[in-house]
Each structure stands twice: as structure tokens, then as C-alpha cells.
Amino acid sequence: MTPTKKSSLFESCQAAIGYHFRNLDLLKAALTHTSGANSRAASNERLEFLGDSVLALVTCELLFHLYPNYDEGDMTKVKSSVVSRKTCAKFSQELGLGSYLIVGKGVMDQGDIPSNMLANVFESLVAAILIDGGWDVAKKFVSRFVEPEMKLVADDAINNNAKSALQQVAQREYGGTPRYYLLDEQGPDHDKCFKISAEVNDHYFPAAWGRTKKEAELRAAMNALADIAGDPTPYPSN
């Protein structure tokens, strides 16, 4: 790659990530896979090692402050999902980092960038930002991705707990097991909404709409729990 092309690559990458490096050598190192480096020391392996720890620490600190009611087990579950290789690869895809990776010809010939490489480059980038801009800058960058993901994981856990909770309440109060019925669906195939109601021993609870059947079931369970407790319906279907 010529110096001009590298300069253009780095400018485009910095625009994509929303951070401009004072030391471009750090960005270059973060983007360089072992296959595209002159030596292992010139690749992003060392940065990846540091970035993994930075990502974990920022996640733990956010969890500790944002979810004061979570015990150690709850925080561990959320952290494991948020800092997983799969999630880091997703963050990398959101930034389009695969387009900026410096790799050897053999990797280029394979086509799509493997997910483990995408995860590595995100972690490496986190470390490079830490070294170049300091802790506060790195924390802000990581939080941009981690906080929304953390909320998704936490909300999913809460919703799934709602179905488990309804099952326990249904067995205790009604002597039966909840079942979920599809009452209606609307919209085109690529953008459907589903209306589902929970039922226990022929008692139908307030239905709920969802963008997927799973989401509609979870909301229906929360509606049922609210109805049993005499609380307002959280997801009215009308």
C-alpha cells in the first residue's frame, strides 16, 4: 500500500470512529493484523491484549454504577455477554473496521474478514485510543458501544425473567402453566408486528404487540403479571 493510500485509509478510519490520533503510528498498529505486519511486534496483538482489559474494566465500572441492584452474579452475566468476542466483532462491524484492516494477501483472498479478526481490531483500537488520548477519552469511546449493549442484555434478562415469573405465579395462583396465543399479525413480511396473549386455564390476560413473536410473548407475560397484581397494563394492545 502506497503512503498516499495509507494516509487516505487512516483519515477515513478516523472519521468513521470519531477520533483523531495525535500519533498515527498507534492507529496503524491497531489496524495491522499479523499477516500484514513485518513482524509480530508490529501487529496489533499487544494492543489487543491491553484493549481487552480496558474494555472489561470500563464495562465493570458502568455495571457497578448503572445497576446498583445487581449482585455479583448478575453483573458477571451481563459483562460476559457485553465483552464477548461476538459482541466485539459486532462493534467492529458497526464501525466498518474490516475495511481498514491491514492484512496479508492470503487473508485478502479469503473474502470476508473472520469475526475473530474483527473482534481483535476493535480491542486493539480501544488500547490505541487509551495510549493516544488517555483514560477519559478511551472510556468515552468504549461507553458509546457498551452502554446500549448493556441495556439490551439487561432488558432481555428482565423480560425473560418475566416469563419465568409468570409461570411460577400461574402455577401458584391458577394451578396451571401459561400458554401464548397469536391473536393477530399486521404489516408486510419484512416488517410484521404480532399480537399475543398469555392464557392460563382459559383465562386470557391483556394482549401485547411486538416486532417479533418473542418480543410479543415477553410483553404479554409482563401484561399478565401486572394484571394479576392489579397494576396498570405496561403494554396495552389498543
pLDDT tens across 118-139, in order?
A: 999 999 999 999 999 999 999 9
Contacts of 104 (CB under 8 A, 6+ apart): 33, 35, 36
Which residue, of 125, 156, 187, is where some domain finishes? 156
Query: Is 61 designated active site?
Result: no
Query: Which of 48, 123, 132, 149 does the annotation list as catalytic?
Result: 123
| CATH code of 22's domain | 1.10.1520.10
Question: Could you tell me if 147 and 183 lie in one domain?
Answer: no
What distance in Å separates the CA atoms of residue 36 and residue 121, rounded to the nearest whole number? 13
Domain span at 38: 3-156
Please give the Cα distance from 82 to 89 (Å, whole number).
11
150 and 192 inside one domain: no
Residues 148, 187 within the same domain? no
State the catalytic residue, choosing from 11, 45, 48, 52. Answer: 52
For the domain that residue 191 is a member of, what is the CATH number? Answer: 3.30.160.20
Indicate the pLDDT class of residue 52, thresholds 50, 70 and 90: very high
The pTM of this model reads 0.68
Out of 122, 156, 190, pick the residue that ends a domain.
Answer: 156
Please indicate, yes or no, whether residues 150 and 199 belong to a single structural domain of this protein: no
Is there a catalytic annotation at residue 112? no
Are both 72 and 129 inside the same structural domain? yes
In a domain, 166, yes or no: no
pLDDT band at 43 (very low <50, low <70, confident <90, very high): confident
Question: Domain for residue 184, yes or no?
Answer: yes
Q: Rounded to an integer, what distance in angstroms lies between the CA atom of residue 31 and that of residue 25?
A: 10
Q: What is the mean pLDDT of residues 139-147?
A: 96
Does some domain include residue 234?
A: no
